[in-house]
Structure 1
Amino acid sequence: MNKTIILNSRPIGKPQLSDFKLVEEEMPKITEGEILLKAKFVSVDPYLRGRMSDAKSYVPPFELQKLMGSGLVAEVTESQNEKFKVGDFVSGALNWKEFQVSTGENLLKIDDSVAPLSNYLGVLGMTGLTAYFGLTEIGKPQKGETIVVSGAAGAVGSIVGQIGKIMGCRVVGIAGSDEKVDLLKSKIGFDEAINYNTTEDMTNAIAEACPNGVDVYFDNVGGEISDAVHANINRLGRVINCGAISAYNDTSVLTGPRVEYFLIKKSALMQGFIVSNYAEKFPEGIKHLSKWLSEGKLTSTETIVEGFENIPQAFIDLFDGKNNGKMIVKI
């Protein structure tokens, strides 16, 4: 039998295991022009929370009692498609199924001799491209500037910080534990890091960590943490809105300090984005990321959870900050 995971119910607040359902079905069979894929690695990402709600967004919501999906790395185990052979590895947006049939459309062949397969869901996948284009296209950091990253020990944030260092910037990360602060400074290469859970005055802590102010803020979190960074933004600063995980499980719209004042006062830019905005430039981004990875300038930080049935729990653990870097499920 083939294991699959469907959306059992729409979450209210933080997702629960009961919102997912493991369903077994007969093993699929391929026909002419098709390939059979076996899941190897599954990406779980905060943006999937939005797709679990029945609300308009930049991607359609998951349907109740239907399959869920995300970025996967899979192996071709059978092929009746001349473009793919048994043993090929591919990555792409696929369903949460152990085995599934594909025509090969929108799948990218990947090479495990270039980098570990899991990297194609992280530093060499959408995660790395999100960090690269958000920082370079919107942040436009200049050598000597100061970059602050919230959610800095997460999948995107950890790569943003490293790219910032490659570009000659001072990089300060914000994370939720002393362990993550130490990881950012000792392994990932941040100049300074702040534990927001043990810091009473974030505005002052950011000012101390950024004596020359904040030129670029890469925001993965939103909320009060971002309010504190905004208070330290420099004239002509750039704020990159990539994520707002602090609000993803809220059941009502929260209010807080308004941004217009600091934007006007500091002539600052604030822009949101999704990585697909830069789809035509993906080859350029992958080229840079691959080069930096091969040169040892980029470190891939991953949290690997094993077992298909553990995909829902790994996803839920994102909202408790249980991941260092990219959260990936190994099948």
Structure 2
Amino acid sequence: RREVVTRRTVFNLRKARERGHVLEGLAVALANIDEFIRIIRESPTPPVARSELMARPWDSQLVREMLTRTRADGGIINADDYRPEGLERAFGMGGDGLYRLSETQAQEILQMRLQRLTGLEQDKIVAEYKEVMGEIDDLLDILSNPERVSTIIGDELTVVKQEFGQTKLGARRSEIEHNAQDLATEDLITPTDMVVTLSHSGYIKSQPLSEYRAQKRGGRGKQATATKEDDWIDQLFIANTHDYILCFSNRGRLYWLKVWEVPAGSRGSRGRPIVNMFPLQEGEKINVVLPLTGEMRSFPSDRYVFMATSMGTVKKTTLDEFSNPRKAGIIAVDLDEGDFLIGAALTDGQH
């Protein structure tokens, strides 16, 4: 903690010296304002004016008094204590009591607004200069006095204790719930209606429904997706981002997919191969997808999935038997050798 206070004090001291250096230049300019204005008016360009201001020494009683004053303890201050780091010895107060401006000071004088020449603004510059000089004295005293560092540490820890300690002021304002639920990725997904498209060759993507709008008479329509010459849109449906999609493979396996997991794409993109989204075996592909929207979202037991194979085998399974998603998928229908699933549909069991 002592190192933190020391490093902070050194930083504040550097900033105060830099500000004090600028104010010294302004104080010198105010003490010789008529001559400064004459030089600036007669100079053809700002760089020439800056060089002229830096080329000659200037007299300022205020600056000379501040840099040669006597301390409260009777000692004489050291003018070097107020110099910014890296400032060349040629600039600042010389042994003859005259002041030589640095490039930084000359530039600040050239950029000074005319309104700062009013009596009130001049008083503000002088007051700020004296305030910064006092701040530098205080920071130097902190660095030279370890007891002051200890006092500052004690005061800061007292403030921390009052603000965050077990007091009336620092009492805990929040309530900790030990049974709070963990947030999953899905909890951060905004419910949104999406248009999901699946091409014949197995490219799937989703787009916000808001990208589509009703066309007026004579409208040309909008392209839903880009496809190759030998490919076409096999399925297109609207579902919410939190809805499930049941994906059946030709091997009779079932995989689950949330709509928000479907890759988003623009109207001009093909999407992503759906086979890359599941741990499929060699030769296995997704050939049926069933979106669970509306009343189907809760996997009701009075709804069914009807499946059919290429050899004529059919099977009806209640929807609630598919309500426990598994990443590796499950066997939805057993197939004989050489048989494969060709279709699946949702039904109420009445047909």
The answer to whether the superposition gives a TM-score over 0.5 is: no
TM-score (structure 2 length as normaliser): 0.17
Bigger radius of gyration among the two: 2
**Higher RCO structure (Cα 8 Å, ≥6 apart):** 1
Question: Greater strand percent: which structure?
Answer: 1
TM-score (normalizing by structure 1)? 0.17
